[in-house]
Amino acid sequence: AQNLIRLGGGSKRVFEASEAAYLEQKYQWSLELTEAPSLYPEDLNMSEIIQLQVLSLQNLASLQTSTNGRNWYLRKALKIQELSYSHQPYVCDENNNDDLNEYRTRHLEELGDRRSAAQVRCNNSAYQMKQQYDNRIKIRPLKLI
């Protein structure tokens, strides 16, 4: 990872290259390039690196024909999100209409299905992260297959 950062001209340039790869829909390459800055972030914002990793993994999952491959990419994305949000409580955006997700979460928790309730929360936060990232780099949302 250190050699890749040195070769690329620093963490910031490697991260910019990974953003460019994402915009070109080269999700695997984008994911590879975000690994090095995530280990040695220097002056980068870790939340941006994590967002790009999660989005790349989700897009790779949408392109998979194998259910095992798709599951692996989605699990990896969830694991990265859990690590980044493990110390932050889930907070719903008041301006967003999340009534349905809130109802689903409460209903699943009442039934004792905490894993599915957590998954609804993660899916909702992943969607919000994707919207924030797309707005930040001003691209139109990708159409998932």
Which range among 4-13, 40-49, 71-80, 120-129 shows the weakest confidence by mean pLDDT? 120-129
Q: Note the pLDDT of residue 134.
A: 59
User: For residue 31, is it within any domain?
Assistant: yes
User: For residue 143, is it within any domain?
Assistant: no
Higher pLDDT, 22 or 127: 22
Q: Note the pLDDT of residue 102.
A: 61
Cα–Cα distance for residue pair 17/80, rounded to 1 Å: 21
What is the count of structural domains for the chain?
1
Rounded mean pLDDT of 31-59?
79
User: For residue 95, is it within any domain?
Assistant: yes
Q: Residue 38's domain is classified under what CATH number?
A: 1.25.40
Is the pLDDT reported for residue 137 higher than 60? no
Q: Which of 144, 131, 122 is nearest to 77 (CA)?
A: 122
User: For residue 144, is it within any domain?
Assistant: no
User: For residue 79, is it within any domain?
Assistant: yes
Q: Note the pLDDT of residue 78.
A: 86
Residues 78-134: tens digit of each pLDDT: 888 876 554 444 444 444 445 555 655 565 555 555 555 555 555 556 666 666 665
Summary mean pLDDT of the chain: 70
User: For residue 38, is it within any domain?
Assistant: yes
Torsion 73-75-78-82 (CA) sign: negative
Q: Where are the alpha helices (DSSP H) in 64-113?
A: 67-85, 99-110
Q: Note the pLDDT of residue 86.
A: 47
H/E stretch holding 114: helix 114-137
User: For residue 145, is it within any domain?
Assistant: no
User: For residue 106, is it within any domain?
Assistant: yes
Rounded mean pLDDT of 40-56?
79
Domain that holds residue 113: 2-137
